[in-house]
A and B are shown apart, each in its own frame.
With several copies, the nearest count.
Chain A
Amino acid sequence: MPFVPHTSQDEELMLDAIGVESIEDLFDEIPPALRAGVLANTPAGISEQALLRLMSDRSKKDEVDLCFIGAGAYQHHIPSAVWDLVTRGEFMTAYTPYQAEASQGTLQLIYEFQTMITRLTAMEVANASVYDGASALAEAILMAVRANRKSKSRNVLVPGNLHPSYLSTCRNILHNQKINLQVIPYDQQSGCIKQEDLQAFEGEDFAALVIQYPNFFGGLEMADELTTWAHSQGQLVIGVVNPTALALLAPPGTWGDTGADIVVGEGQPLGIPVASGGPYLGFMCCKQAIVRQMPGRIIGKTLDLDGKVGFALTLQAREQHIRRAKATSNICTNQGLLVTAATIYMSLIGDQGLRSIASQSHNGTVQLIGKALEIKGITRRFTSPVFHEVVLELPCRASQVLQQMCTQGILGGYDLGQMDAALENCILVNVTETKTPQDIEDFITSLRAAVEVAAC
């Protein structure tokens, strides 16, 4: 019996102590009609050896040589120390730090995480993570609606170049609470939100404006202008940011007049493998003034009986386990272990490291763009400057080209036709520091050949 330590003698002694004949007797309060038989569609148990062989065989089917897809999940180098430490039983098999005295390790680490994230974003406070970037945005919108004292509106402005899954996640989570997302079309030339496009919404009551930076197409929004405009309209500003990009680019806390009010993002680039999309972590920061509207766990520094510094969950009165129906959110379990990874990653990488990684990613992207544009028929779809991801327009259907590249073990990018039929010739390509000049060369060779094969 895997993982059950009971010997038959233990079992007998225990049943005796309870005063029943068999384990079956312990289920005597369950109406007999409800008792289940064997699990017919579940196979018999196998050994760890057989399991690992099975999973190894299956995982090998999914191996590719090079991946240039980004679109919200980015392959970065992860220092070996990160997961060696994260998988220490003391981090991995602990529960939520409800008993602070027995959880100072996790609690201090989260406090460090909050500090790092506030610094990276130039915001005042951060929470201990929510599920992922997309759900973080949904929570941020709810939070903005609650927090905006100038507006009673349940309408929120979101950019048309927002990550499409973020948009749908928000819609799906928010529509039951009658929150309405008004999409601002992006400028077809730059791929960005232009200030002129906002004029249509001037004077209307919106609780907040969402800015994704860089946007889904990798482009850099005019975050300063957008922020100042939104504030002038009585809206809060919600930034959705890529943490690697912030090594080089203005952090949301400094945008426009007074900075973004709420900032969320996907923490995956900070030491978490792309791993099919999760577990990742959604980070969430805000201005101190509205911290009580922020959902999720928050760790505070305090003192113990002896006056020694310690850390504890704080402001729990916002949370479901105390506040129940009146909580800021229903979130309970979050992404603690990924916070551990991100914190250790940020410690190891430091300012110099993150700047270098961001620079290398940007340099590689610029390099790839340059070479790709030399291929006949390939153009850059949007004019805005990009960070580490770009939209290339091909002379034919992206899906065909990508399929062809895939046969050579290269995932050439994300097929934007899946988001918008108008972009069916476009791919979204990402380069990080994991791609060597040779990798970029291999990409270009494969892309060139694929475009030719597609015979367009």
Chain B
Amino acid sequence: MLIYEISSEGRSATAQYEACELENSELPTAQLRVSPIGLPAVSELQVVRHYTGLSKKNFSIDGEFYPLGSCTMKYNPRGALAGAHMPGFLARHPLAPENVSQGYLSCLYDLQEYLKDVTGMRAVSLTPMAGAQGEFAGVAMIRAYHDKAGDSERTEILIPNAAHGTNPATAVMCGYTVREVPVTKEGDVDVDALKAAVGPQTAGLMMTNPSTCGVFERKIQEIAEIVHDAGGLLYYDGANLNAILGKVKPGDMGFDVMHMNLHKTFATPHGGGGPGAGPVGVGKRLEPFVPTPIVGKRSTNGEDEYYWMSDKDIPDTIGNLSAFMGNAGILLRAFAYARLLGNQGMHRVGEYATLNANYMATKMAAAGFKLAYPNRRATHEFVVSMSQEAKELNVNAMDFAKRLLDYGYHAPTTYFPLLVPEALLIEPTETESKEELDGFIEAMTQILQEAKETPELVRSAPITTPVKRLDDVKAARELNLAWKAAD
């Protein structure tokens, strides 16, 4: 039932506004709205009941184990939410003067410092609103760097074929063409192919390490050298930072620029699709180009004073990327999370995320599943290929994924990375207990059994969810994107 279907003209949540008509209006009559607005007409109880009911139709971290590879679905501390929701922060206008913004600015400044520390970068700008916008900022800086150097022939960005879709899409947003670099059977970038691909047209290489194959790129130093020698820069996609938090710094690996997904590594909740925050960190070469605003600190009469740095302070900046300053509230949460963890806690993130993934990989291999990279250490995630099951049992990765829902587990990421056939990318994160991991492995084992004995059951899964498998073709063909009374 849609909210519109319980709507009834004349009904309204009257406590939520003071009934009011225009007085002495200066609005031109010709410009007045004549049609109804068309929002639902419902009571407060109806709204509360309706959305409480809808919420129950979602899986979530608070409800279920959610081993969605590349997405780092870990516990979102409620304390971080409480910190960000302090009344003084919620009511602060984005354009409030600096003298009544010292609380907020100091949190942002501190966060910049922590992020520099964990990434090994020289400067951090917090402004990008998600990973993809961080990527944009990063590649735009690469471009600004080459442009400033008059190096206008560099038109190409290299991207391993295992990469996330945002990488090539971003390169195009920055006016580059994309050249894919193959990945070896072991999940590493093919260095020979890379050597063959670089050249004077190379603006840079975008990659993540650990890669989306769930393995650490062992030749990263050599790769960095190859790209740098060719005059290109190295972009680090920080979506997988959770794997190495406190263990390795992208700056030390030779990366010139990176983004972080705070909504992943820094545990800010994903909100059913966002919001996120995708700060960018830069090394020496790109420092002059960081997006604005960033927060500076100076000492005035012995007191710390925080202030906005803008184009005046950073003349070569690629500029601002949002109306104000990114997803401020998410940054406050990440600050809170960083404080709760502290330096020791951050070390443990990478450690236990890795422990959990390797444990699961080992156990799943023992249970008869095929690891895509059996000779490699898993990092914080690992890839299982269901191609054998698909071939022999006619039960594919998606079927397993859907059947997991019936067992009360969210499905892993399916069919990504693209280069592994029938891929399941599994990321348990450090906040899940051994019991939870064992439960998942047990479920997978049972589903495998089902796939052998009653494959139809698995293929028609899920059966316990609010709806069964949906007709995606119909959705796309008979586009229905907004409700009409006739529906």
Contacts and interface: CB of A to CB of B under 8 A. Distances in A.
Q: Answer yes or no: A and B touching, Cβ < 8 Å.
A: yes
A332 B131 contact: yes
B465 A251 contact: no
B46 interface: yes
B381 interface: no
A74 B79 CA distance: 21
Contacts of A2: 13-15, 44, 77, 340-341, 345
B149 interface: no
Contacts of B276: 333
Contact of A312 (B34, B343, B354, B472): B472
A89 interface: yes
Interface in A140-194: 163, 165-166, 168-169, 171-173, 176-178
B28 to A, nearest CB: 6
Contact of B273 (A43, A301, A323, A336): A336
B132 A355 contact: no
Looking at B88, B263, B487, the one whose CB has the most chain A CB atoms below 10 A away is B88
Given A122-B35, A350-B12, A320 B166 contact: yes
Given A357-B17, A362-B25, A335 B323 contact: no
Contacts of B172: 325-327, 330
Looking at B55, B106, B474, the one whose CB has the most chain A CB atoms below 10 A away is B55
A370 B336 CA distance: 35
B199 to A, nearest CB: 19
Interface stretch (B190-198, B314-322, B383-391): B314-322
Interface string A56-86: 1111111110010101110101011100110
A272 to B, nearest CB: 10
A277 B332 CA distance: 12
B271 interface: yes
Interface in B46-82: 46-48, 50-52, 54-63, 66, 68, 71, 73-79, 81-82
Given A42-B118, A274-B91, A356-B20, A34 B174 contact: no
A162 B346 CA distance: 43
B118 A39 contact: yes
Interface stretch (B228-236, B279-287, B476-484): B476-484
A236 interface: no
A353 B88 contact: no
A325 B120 CA distance: 30
Given A165-B323, A173-B136, A305 B460 contact: yes
Contacts of B106: 58
Interface in A235-255: 246-251, 254
Contacts of A51: 79, 83, 336, 339-340
Interface in A320-359: 320-327, 329-340, 343-344, 346-357, 359
Given A325-B178, A346-B39, A276 B325 contact: yes
B359 interface: yes
A66 to B, nearest CB: 10
A349 B247 CA distance: 30
Contacts of B329: 275-276, 278-279
Interface in B205-241: 215-216, 218, 220-221
A274 B94 contact: yes
A101 interface: yes
What's the interface size class on B, roughly? Answer: 35 or more
Contact of A333 (B13, B118, B131, B471): B131
Contact of A105 (B13, B38, B55, B430): B55
B346 A42 contact: yes
Nearest to B378: A26
Contacts of B18: 47, 49-50, 356, 360, 433
Contacts of A54: 339
A360 B20 CA distance: 6
Contacts of B328: 275-279
Contacts of B33: 246-251
A401 interface: no
Interface in B137-175: 140, 143, 164-166, 168-175
A134 B322 contact: yes
A302 B140 contact: no
A325 B171 contact: yes
A329 B136 CA distance: 11
Nearest to B338: A42
Interface stretch (A107-115, A197-205, A226-234, A437-445): A107-115
Contacts of A302: 470-472, 474-475, 478, 480
B25 A366 contact: yes
Interface string B286-301: 0000010000000000
Nearest to A317: B476
B184 interface: no
B204 interface: no
A61 B35 contact: no
A114 B462 CA distance: 27
B274 interface: yes
Interface in B18-36: 18-28, 30-36
Contacts of A362: 22, 25-27
Nearest to A127: B481
A99 B32 contact: no
B374 interface: no
Contacts of A131: 129-130, 133, 275, 322, 327
B342 interface: yes
Looking at B61, B267, B321, B405, the one whose CB has the most chain A CB atoms below 10 A away is B321
Looking at A34, A112, A322, A338, the one whose CB has the most chain B CB atoms below 10 A away is A34
A417 interface: no
A387 interface: yes
Given A67-B91, A347-B39, A278 B322 contact: yes
Nearest 5 CB-CB pairings of A with B: A45-B342, A336-B273, A89-B62, A277-B324, A337-B271
11 contacts: A14-B356, A38-B343, A59-B87, A116-B39, A131-B129, A173-B321, A176-B173, A279-B274, A310-B466, A320-B169, A337-B275
Given A115-B483, A274-B91, 9 more contacts: A34-B249, A81-B47, A88-B52, A91-B272, A93-B61, A330-B132, A330-B166, A331-B130, A334-B274
